[in-house]
A and B are shown apart, each in its own frame.
Chain A
């Protein structure tokens, strides 16, 4: 079965510091996409970053970057220079090419300490 595991239910980081959220997944597929979505207190789900499994280069979007380790089936999210607006629930998600299902992890709640 395809699963996505986020082992950190909650994390805290000091404002302006760097934090890494972990995500591992289980699949026998070789071609798939991985996503990180952010859900702030407003409940609106927002795409943060995505990575195709065939691309070796780690995706980067401004202060957000990923560490994609395909062999280890790991897809962690690094947030640099944390800001108060980064406080949210973060969800890791996975979608395999041959299927139309999307599997989400249980989420990590990130607190930013001023």
Chain B
């Protein structure tokens, strides 16, 4: 089954404790992206990647890191999480080409205390 998976689905952590949210897709997509969703703010793009070893900042990259060492994986790293990073996070992937549909993962609910 074609899908985007994220782990963990739920995470409660404390300020300053490094964490990684994994994202993996099995569709051989070139484009991958991370978003955060907050009430009243919609989805905001954090980072995206056009292909292996190619990443770029979205609109809200501060406090986040990403890497793209393999085509299928695009982990999101919070080196020192803070309470303002409490949010719902989505990973998405698509074929290259700007009109293509993005396929979203199920979301990760992160709470930083």
Q: Contacting A105 at CB < 8 Å: which of B35, B42, B56, B59?
A: B42
- Report if A44-B59 is in contact (Cβ < 8 Å); known contacts: A50-B99, A102-B33: no
Number of interface residues of A (CB under 8 A): 25
Task: Take A100-B31, A101-B58 as given contacts and tell me if A47 and B42 are in contact as well, using a CB distance cutoff of 8 Å.
Answer: no
Q: Give the contact stretch, choosing among A13-21, A68-76, A80-88, A90-98.
A: A90-98
For residue B48, which residues in chain A have a CB less than 8 angstroms away from its CB? Answer: 100-102
- By the criterion CB–CB under 8 Å, are A101 and B59 in contact? yes
- CB pair B42–A104 under 8 Å, yes or no, is yes
Residue A113, interface by CB 8 Å: no
Report the count of interface residues on B (CB-CB < 8 A).
24
Is the beta-carbon distance between B50 and A45 smaller than 8 angstroms?
A: no
Give CA–CA (A52, B102) in the complex, Å: 15
Contact B101 A50 (CB under 8 A): yes
Q: Which of A44-60 contact B (CB under 8 A)?
A: 44-45, 47, 50, 52
CB distance from B44 to the nearest CB of A (A): 7
Is A78 part of the binding interface, using a Cβ–Cβ cutoff of 8 Å?
no
Write the residues of chain A forming the contact surface with B, with a CB cutoff of 8 angstroms.
6, 9, 32-33, 35, 37, 43-45, 47, 50, 52, 91, 93, 95-97, 100-107
Extra contacts, 18 of them, besides A43-B106, A45-B90, A106-B40 (Cβ < 8 A), are: A33-B98, A35-B101, A37-B102, A43-B107, A44-B104, A44-B106, A50-B101, A52-B99, A91-B42, A100-B56, A101-B48, A101-B59, A102-B45, A102-B48, A103-B59, A104-B44, A105-B42, A106-B42
